[in-house]
Amino acid sequence: MKELKKIVRKTNACLIWGGALGIVPADSKIIQVEKVLGIDPESQLLASIMSKKLAMGSKYIIIDIPYGKTAKVDKKKATKLKRKFEQLGKHFKVKLKVVLTSAKEPMGSGVGPALELIDVIKILNPHEKGPKDLEDKSLFLASELLEMTKKAKKGKGIEMAKEILYSGKAFEKFKQIIKAQGGALKEIKPAKFRKDILSKRAGKIIGIDNKKINNLARVAGCPADKFAGLYIYHNLGEKIKKRDKILTIYSESKSRLKQALKFYKDKKPVRIK
C-alpha cells in the first residue's frame, strides 16, 4: 500500500487488482468459497463490488452492468441490480452512476489477460487500430465519468474523451503508469502454442455465446496462464468465407490446447448459418 501511494503521488493514477493488496480480505476469502460451490448470490455481488470502491475512498463511481442472453445477467436482473447499487450509493453518500450495456457477444477481440491488454494498447496507441466496440464503450464510460466529476459540461464529455484518446495523451499516461509500476509493454505477447479455427463453409455468424467463450478460454489456461486465451476475428452478423479464421486459441501447453480444441468442437461457442 505504501508503494501504491507513492505511485499515485507520482502519476495521479494506478492500475491494481484489489485481491493482490488485501484491501477487502474477507471478500477475497468468500469469493474463493463461492467458486468451489459454484454460487454467486446477489447480496454478495453487491457487497463485493461496493466494498472495494468504498475501501479505496472513491467519491465518484461508475458501474457498468452488461446484460444479455449469454451474459451473467439478463436485462430484468440488470435493472434490479442497478436500483440496488443506486440505493447503496445514496446510503454511503457517494456519487454513483450505473449504466446498462448490451452484451450479445464478447467485447473486443482478445479473451485472456495478455490478449485483452493487447486490445487495450491498440486502442490507446493513435498509430494502431483496436476493436471498435471496445473503443466506443471505453469512450462512453470515460465521458460519463468526465461529466460526473464536472471536468466536462453536460453532453460534452464524449468530445473531451475523444480528444484525450486520439491526441495520444491517454497512451502517454498509460505508459507512465506501467513504468511507475515496474512493468514493460514489450513483455506482452500471446502463449507459444496456438491453433487457428477455420470456417468449414461460407455463411453468417449468428451467435457467439459469452459463457462458452469464457469457459473455452479457461480450458486453454485462463486466467492462471496470463498469456493463454482466444483471439476472435469476427463480430455477430458478419459474413465469412469458407476457411476464414473464426478464432485462434493460445495455450502454454500442448495438452491444454488439445483440451480447448475438443471443447470448441463439442460446445460450438460460435454459430454460423
Domain boundaries, the chain: 1-56, 59-104, 110-131+144-189, 190-272
Lowest mean pLDDT among 12-26, 36-50, 194-208, 215-229: 12-26
Average pLDDT over residues 127-148: 96
Q: What is the CA 191 to chain-centroid distance, rounded? A: 19
Banded model confidence at residue 230, pLDDT cuts 50, 70, 90? very high
Q: What's the confidence (pLDDT) of residue 35?
A: 81
Query: 65: which strand partners?
Result: 100
Residue with cell 479455427: 197
pTM here?
0.89
CATH 1.10.150.390 for domain 190-272: no
Q: What's the confidence (pLDDT) of residue 4?
A: 87
Question: CA-to-CA distance for 24 and 9, rounded, in angstroms?
Answer: 22
- Tally Cβ neighbours within 10 Å of residue 249: 29
How many H helices and E strands in the chain?
11, 9
Average pLDDT, the chain: 93
Q: From the candidates 40, 74, 136, 196, give the one annotated as an active-site residue.
A: 40
Banded model confidence at residue 22, pLDDT cuts 50, 70, 90? confident
Summarize pLDDT for 144-201 with one digit per residue, the tens. Answer: 999 999 999 999 999 999 999 999 999 999 999 999 999 988 888 899 999 999 999 9
Lowest mean pLDDT among 178-192, 198-212, 222-236: 178-192
Under 8 Å CB-to-CB from 229, ≥6 apart: which residues?
110, 111, 112, 113, 114, 115, 116, 190, 191, 217, 220, 221, 222, 250
- Is 40 known to be catalytic? yes
Q: What's the confidence (pLDDT) of residue 83?
A: 97
Average pLDDT over residues 220-231: 95
Average pLDDT over residues 71-86: 95
Banded model confidence at residue 1, pLDDT cuts 50, 70, 90? confident
Banded model confidence at residue 72, pLDDT cuts 50, 70, 90? confident
Considering the four listed CATH numbers 3.30.413.10, 3.40.1030.10, 2.40.50.140, 3.30.390.10, the one that applies to the domain covering 110-131+144-189 is 3.40.1030.10
Question: CA-to-CA distance for 47 and 31, rounded, in angstroms?
Answer: 11
Average pLDDT over residues 221-232: 95
